[in-house]
Amino acid sequence: MIIKLAIEVAISAAYEAGRLTRERFGDLTSIQEKDEHGDLVTEADYEAEAIILAKIRGVFPDHRIRSEEFGDNENESDWVWLVDPLDGTNNFAVGLPLFGISITLLHRSAPVMAVIYEPMTDRLYTAVSGEGARCNGQVVAIGQAKPVAKPRVGWIQGHAVQNAQDAVKLRHYIDVQAKRMMRLWAPTLQWCMLARGDLDAIIVYNSEGEDLYSGLLMAQEAGAVVFDYDGQPFTGAFRQPFLIACHSEHAEYFQNMVRSGLPSS
């Protein structure tokens, strides 16, 4: 019952926040740097966030909420909402129409519901644990395994990683081995591409954030396997996520790629 109501709330919030960001696109009055790594925040982030938080609090006042700009309300609850009101703010701020709204619900640290909305294309992605993934109501699946001699790989790294030596070496190795290595500055959209079968894999390098678990659940419910660099399956929250997501038949291939690209220990 909670999850059914939660997804209704999340969809309503995503649509409303999406309308606001679409209207604000190209018409910003305030853009600020929020950390030393050059990450940005705009008035649209705050306004979209206020819409989403109000809707969640109105129905689930006792749930814990962690949101990109607001922070953590620190409620004691087995239910935790993760909110990124504008995933892809840097794109949004420079006029690149690649951004989305990400809302996830965790139960005891495991993602059970996710909504990702891409306002500029009006694509709404939903996933519920054990019930599959959908885009605008249509089932989304990664489909049959394709040859990966020259794969299309999405790369996602945490803001604090920057140009850490091991990350640079692995990133460069993947870039050379892949047909395309994609960095969109909007991770949730990359996860949706994997879910649709438009990417062969996603490599995550220490990227913990409010937008991570919506994408993970979307990919898993679309048929992808998610595991760490040592091959251990994703079962819940990671303190430092170093992950691979791909078709099950390609798991060994991409694990070997990552191992080959990392410096010898």
Report in angstroms the alpha-carbon separations of 172 from 113, 136, 199: 34, 36, 18
Flag whether 211 is marked binding.
yes
Count Cα neighbours of 56 within 13 Å in the Cβ-side half-sphere: 27
- Give 78-120 as a 3 state SS string: CEEEEEEEEECHHHHHCCCCCCEEEEEEEECCEEEEEEEEECC
Flag whether 68 is marked binding.
yes
Q: Confirm if 75 and 122 have CB atoms less than 8 A apart.
A: no
Distance between CA atoms of 154 and 182, rounded to whole angstroms? 5
Distance between CA atoms of 54 and 49, rounded to whole angstroms? 8
Nearest one of 154, 257, 150, 156 to 198, comparing CA atoms: 154
Flag whether 84 is marked binding.
yes
Flag whether 86 is marked binding.
yes
Count Cα neighbours of 114 within 13 Å in the Cβ-side half-sphere: 32
Rg over CA atoms, the chain: 18
Compute φ and ψ for 248, nearest 5 degrees: -55, -35
Output the known binding site for Mg(2+): 68, 84, 86-87, 211
Output the known binding site: 68, 84, 86-87, 211
